Amino acid sequence: MTKRDGSKVFQTLGDSILRMELRPGTILDEADLASRLDVSRTPIREAIIKLIADGLVVRDGRKAKVAPLDFDEVPKLYDALLVSSRLVHRLAAEHRTDADLTLIYRHMMAFEACEIDGNGVMRSEANQRFHKAISQAAQNRYISDFYNRALVDTIRLARACFSNAQKTDDPERDAELQRHLATTVGQHREIYQALADRDVAHADALAVKHYELTKNRMIKVLFEGAKSMASLEDLSLDSWEPT
């Protein structure tokens, strides 16, 4: 990574937060980050400012730290996701361009490829790209920003609950995951078709349907996931593999 490549610093830090390589509450030491990423402190500062704007980092006095996850705020978070998702899908159905539709389709197929060959992180990132492409198609940055913030926070919550759970060889759990993924793929295709058809009402209804799928799966693991988060050791930067 070169000193002038500030965008990669931002991307690396953001990805590490979303992947839970940097756990909530971790202090971001500029000098340590600059040394580990082989950059000056300037792109580190710039990246932190952007991460604060995205809600992934917060100020704690003169220090910056990874934004905490407040499980008491989960109901409010999912309320925000529902409202913003409905708005985004309605606007995307109305305003999407052919180029938007092409991008949405590409990310939809990338997610389906991850369903077969990918791990949880790959699926989560592909899923995020699919939904952000829909958000972009809404052609309203204020509503898209609202939605993207809720989307990112629910992804962080899901990573905290799912990725840290103890792995078991449980055929029933594996079968449940496969059923969930198959349902997700089917709903993605329905959403894509509604956007292609410019069917605003159907896109709205599908946004609610997809929200319910996400929320119900989270409810099943939320408290178990919160317990596993509390027992985690701090994750250091030594586990990073920056790209």
Q: What is the pLDDT of residues 39-54, one digit of tens each?
A: 999 999 999 999 998 8
For residue 182, name the pLDDT band (cuts at 50, 70, 90). very high
Per the structure, the count of domains in the chain is: 2
Query: What is the rounded distance in angstroms from the CA atom of residue 194 to the CA atom of residue 149?
Result: 24
Q: Is residue 155 a part of any domain in this protein?
A: yes
| Domain carrying residue 17 | 6-68
State which of 42, 68, 94 marks the end of a domain: 68
Residue 115: predicted pLDDT: 74
Query: What is the rounded distance in angstroms from the CA atom of residue 184 to the CA atom of residue 177?
Result: 10
Residue 226 pLDDT > 70, yes or no? no
pTM for the predicted model, two decimal places: 0.77
Residue 70: predicted pLDDT: 78
Q: Is residue 238 a part of any domain in this protein?
A: no
For residue 98, name the pLDDT band (cuts at 50, 70, 90). very high
The two three-digit tokens of residue 239, written as one number? 């586990």
SS3 63: strand
- For residue 37, give the CATH number of its domain: 1.10.10.10
Residue 230: predicted pLDDT: 47
Contacts of 5 (CB under 8 A, 6+ apart): 39, 43
Mean per-residue pLDDT, 96-110: 98
Residue 163: predicted pLDDT: 57
Mean per-residue pLDDT, 75-104: 97
